[in-house]
């Protein structure tokens, strides 16, 4: 059972700070160039907390202690104000997808969700996590005792929750990000409506779309606090603004038992997954002819127009993908469509039929590992592979001689992500790219 709670969010005071100059993309999407731009935009830009510059450290002075100092000072100065009533926050994102001509809208809502072990069958992941990012986020959480970005969680219904949250009122927050996405937030404080929505969410399974590392960081922090004598679940040891409205839960949970989430209906027409293309580079012994000869052992390989542009490549992939696996391999002046896989099941030992049907698994296990001979470790460390969202950029990279071969892909389908996650399985690295991203800093959940 999914337990949700309203909370009294900390939010930027718009009279003190222009919100559009203070919020950021998720920390793991901030490039060094973006970090510099955020620093220059405003002295109160949240990048100083979520991804501060790693300057030379002195004892007691490092990126985490500086983050905690900024957070403490900004709260004291009134840069952040706490909402007076426990609330949910309706969240709309209007966007035009890369390469698209029409605008879409993705709707959801922000609330606190109870942190659950995966074994409880409430929260499901679809990808593995790495130790280093979790260690970094845990240090930041320990130092600041706050969550600044929402975890992106999916649930399933027929649209009734979105309908309940619809509003014609002016939003409390209205900002446009650097990708032209309009983010709007409405505070929802009606206790009856909050209880109705939380009640409708009670029987939902939750699937992590984005934020696996931060979810597991919150889980590790919860366990750490419990072990340190923070009290059994439901016995508050810190001031909490979270009230959980369910018969079977205590009236109040310890703050570390909850984490900030944005909930989006996985059946929504505005839920978009983009493909992530693979660019392979730095292979000194790469041979196009050898690649093609070996690939034909595992796929039907058709030569296609060598002058194919990104739009036509995407269209061709989509058409072929309706019948099953489709991958496009581009070299300097040659393009090939790979489809109708026939690799031996021995290559997929340990993977279910659901996973084997994924284009990305066919690419990784057959083409990257078996045909090109890349090790799993080198792929994980991105030694000879780059991941690009833009098909044109991926094609340009190989055509200008900056790569050996580029693989263009169709996006994974939402039902594939759902079925694999709910079966307790995972997808390969960089399989999903939910677009657009949730902005960091629209609401903040302080544990004390």
Res 176 pLDDT > 90: yes
pLDDT for the residue 130: 84
As a dihedral over the C-alpha atoms of residue 352, residue 353, residue 356, residue 357, rounded to 10 degrees, the angle is -140
pLDDT value of residue 214: 97
Report the half-sphere exposure of 198 (CA within 13 A, side-chain side): 28
* Highest-pLDDT range among 58-72, 206-220, 221-235: 206-220
> Is the bond into 75 cis (omega within 30 degrees of 0)?
no
Exposure of 238 in the CB half-sphere (CA atoms within 13 A): 18
pLDDT at res. 89: 98
**Measured in whole angstroms, how far is the alpha carbon of residue 428 from the centre of its chain?**
15
Can you give the pTM of this predicted structure? 0.92
Q: List, in sequence order, every residue forming a beta bridge with 88; answer none if it has no partner.
A: 188
The whole-angstrom separation of Cα 86 and Cα 91 is 16
C-alpha count within 13 angstroms, C-beta hemisphere, residue 80: 25
Residue 319 phi, psi dihedral angles, 5° rounding: -65, -45
What's the pLDDT score for residue 380? 87
Query: For residues 410 and 274, what is the distance between their CA atoms, to the nearest angstrom?
Result: 8
pLDDT digits (tens, 9 = 90+) for 94-144: 999 988 889 999 999 999 999 999 999 999 999 988 899 999 999 999 999
CB of 91 closer than 8 Å to CB of 107: yes
Digit-coded pLDDT (tens) for 9-24 = 999 999 999 999 999 9
Q: Which residues contact 229 (CB under 8 A, 6 or more apart)?
A: none
How many Å apart are CA 14 and CA 404, to the nearest integer?
50
Query: In which residue ranges of the chain is CATH 3.30.1760 found?
Result: 276-410
The yes-or-no verdict on residue 58 having pLDDT over 80 is: no
- The CA distance from 319 to 326, in Å, is 9
- Listed residue (436, 417, 441) closest to 98, CA to CA: 436
221-260 per-position pLDDT tens digit: 999 999 998 554 543 444 444 544 444 444 578 999 999 9
Please list the residues that pair with 319 across neighbouring strands.
none
CA separation for the pair 143, 217 (Å, rounded): 13
Mean pLDDT value across residues 65-80: 98
CATH of 276-410, one of 1.10.760, 1.10.3470, 3.30.1760, 3.90.660: 3.30.1760
Mean pLDDT across 56-77: 92
Whose CA is closest to 107, among 210, 9, 8, 186?
186
User: Which ranges constitute the DSSP H helices of 381-435?
Assistant: 391-399, 414-422
Average model confidence (pLDDT) across the chain: 93
Residue 307 pLDDT level (bands cut at 50, 70, 90): confident
Share of the chain above pLDDT 90, in %: 88
Pairing verdict, β 151-155 and 258-265:
parallel
SS3 at position 249: coil
Rg (CA), the chain: 23
318: pLDDT strictly greater than 60: yes
């Amino acid at each position: 059972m999914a337990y949700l709670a309203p909370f009294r969010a900390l939010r930027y005071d718009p009279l003190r700070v222009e919100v559009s100059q203070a919020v950021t993309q998720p920390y793991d999407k901030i490039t060094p160039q973006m970090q510099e731009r955020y620093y220059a935009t405003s002295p109160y830009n949240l990048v100083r907390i979520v991804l501060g510059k790693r300057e030379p450290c002195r004892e007691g002075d490092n990126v985490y202690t500086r983050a905690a100092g900024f957070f403490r000072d900004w709260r004291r100065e009134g840069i952040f104000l706490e909402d007076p009533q426990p609330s949910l926050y309706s969240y709309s994102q209007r966007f035009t997808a890369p390469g698209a001509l029409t605008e879409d809208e993705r709707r959801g809502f922000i609330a606190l969700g109870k942190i659950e072990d995966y074994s409880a069958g409430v929260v499901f992941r679809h990808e593995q996590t790495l130790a280093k990012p979790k260690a970094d986020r845990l240090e930041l959480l320990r130092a600041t005792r706050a969550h600044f970005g929402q975890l992106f969680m999916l649930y399933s219904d027929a649209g009734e929750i979105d309908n309940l949250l619809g509003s014609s009122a002016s939003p409390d927050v209205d900002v446009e990000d650097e990708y032209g996405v309009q983010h709007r937030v409405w505070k929802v404080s009606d206790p009856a409506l909050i209880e109705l929505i939380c009640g409708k969410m009670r029987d939902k399974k939750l699937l992590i779309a984005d934020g696996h590392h931060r979810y597991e960081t919150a889980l590790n922090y919860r366990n750490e606090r419990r072990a340190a004598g923070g009290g059994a679940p439901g016995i508050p040891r810190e001031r909490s603004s979270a009230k959980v409205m369910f018969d079977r839960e205590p009236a109040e949970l310890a703050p570390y038992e909850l984490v900030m989430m944005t909930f989006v209906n996985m059946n929504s027409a505005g839920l978009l997954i983009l493909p992530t293309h693979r660019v392979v580079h730095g292979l000194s012994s790469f041979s196009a002819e050898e690649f093609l000869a070996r690939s034909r052992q595992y796929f039907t390989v058709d030569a296609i127009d060598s002058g194919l542009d990104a739009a036509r490549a995407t269209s061709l992939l989509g058409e072929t993908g309706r019948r099953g696996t489709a991958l496009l391999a581009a070299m300097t002046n040659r393009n090939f469509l790979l489809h109708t896989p026939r690799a031996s099941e021995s290559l997929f030992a340990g993977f279910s039929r659901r996973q084997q049907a994924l284009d990305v698994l066919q690419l990784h296990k057959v083409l990257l590992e078996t045909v090109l001979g890349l090790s799993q470790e080198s792929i994980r460390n991105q030694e000879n592979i780059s991941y690009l969202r833009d098909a044109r950029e991926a094609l340009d990279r190989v055509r200008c001689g900056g790569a050996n071969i580029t693989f263009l892909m169709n996006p994974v389908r939402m039902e594939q992500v759902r079925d694999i996650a709910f079966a307790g399985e995972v997808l390969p690295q960089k399989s999903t790219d939910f677009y657009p991203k949730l902005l960091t800093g629209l609401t903040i959940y302080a544990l004390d």
